[in-house]
Amino acid sequence: MVIHVKLCGPKPLVFDAEDVKQLRSQHRIVGTLIGTLPRLPLQNAFLGLPLQLLPEETALLVAKNLACMDAPWSYPNSKDERLRYRVFEYLWSREYYITSGLKFGGDFLVYLGDPMRFHSHFIVSAKDRNSPIAPLDVIAMGRLATNVKKTFVLVSPPENAADDNSTMDVFSIEWAGF
């Protein structure tokens, strides 16, 4: 069954509850519920439909012919977007659940199982291997991840790699706190 995704401005949204259930249970796509509940519209602790998808989730669903869009979808466009998408597809192909990692200073949070039942283990940042990283940033990544009981992971396509996402260079950063 094909998932129907509607664009509301730049935001890809899924409005059908069965589609949301299929995304999560069959495709490990989590998204974020952003709608209010009809019986409790003034609260914001529990949210309902629609489900907002990450751009990477949407691009993956379209690329795998798992979803159809109601409007033209053009992602990824920039070099950074292509890098993020390649890393997302690499992690997804390894059967991880993936959500946004912005609140932890990374690109993605990676879970070994459904985020409703599992704690995320990794904060992932997609990095171009030729982009410098300041030593203080490496320390900050390690300390931050350790304080929230996670491992910070840098993921980069190898030099001269094809666009097949079959291999990536993966480095983990953990703070030992001497």
163 contacts 136 by C-beta, under 8 angstroms: no
| Distance (Å, whole) CA 61 – CA 105 | 25
* pLDDT tens, residue by residue, 39-91: 888 888 889 999 999 999 999 999 999 999 999 989 999 999 999 999 999 99
For the sheet containing 67-69, what is the strand order?
32-35, 48-52, 11-14, 3-8, 67-69
Q: Rounded to a whole number, what is the largest CA-CA distance in the chain?
A: 55
* pLDDT tens, residue by residue, 149-177: 999 999 999 887 666 777 899 999 988 86
Supply 173's token pair: 């950063």
Annotated active-site residue in 85, 96, 111, 127: 111
| Distance (Å, whole) CA 31 – CA 29 | 6
Neighbouring C-alpha atoms within 13 Å toward the C-beta of 99: 21
Annotated active-site residue in 85, 96, 127, 150: 150
Is 60 exceeded by the pLDDT of residue 127?
yes
The pLDDT assigned to 175 comes to 84
The pLDDT assigned to 37 comes to 87
Cβ contacts of 20 within 8 Å, gap of 6 or more: 14, 31, 49, 51
Q: How far apart are the first and last CA of the chain?
A: 53
* pTM for the whole structure: 0.94
| Distance (Å, whole) CA 178 – CA 53 | 41
What is the residue whose two structure tokens read 């350790």?
A: 146
Q: Does 150 qualify as catalytic in the annotation?
A: yes
Q: Does 119 qualify as catalytic in the annotation?
A: yes
Provide, rounded to the nearest whole percent, the portion of the chain with pLDDT above 70.
Answer: 97
Return the number of other C-beta atoms located less than 10 Å from residue 34's C-beta: 14
Q: Does 96 qualify as catalytic in the annotation?
A: no
Is 70 exceeded by the pLDDT of residue 22?
yes
Annotated active-site residue in 119, 121, 127, 149: 119
* DSSP output for 7-37: EETTEEEE--HHHHHHHHHHH-B--EEEEPB
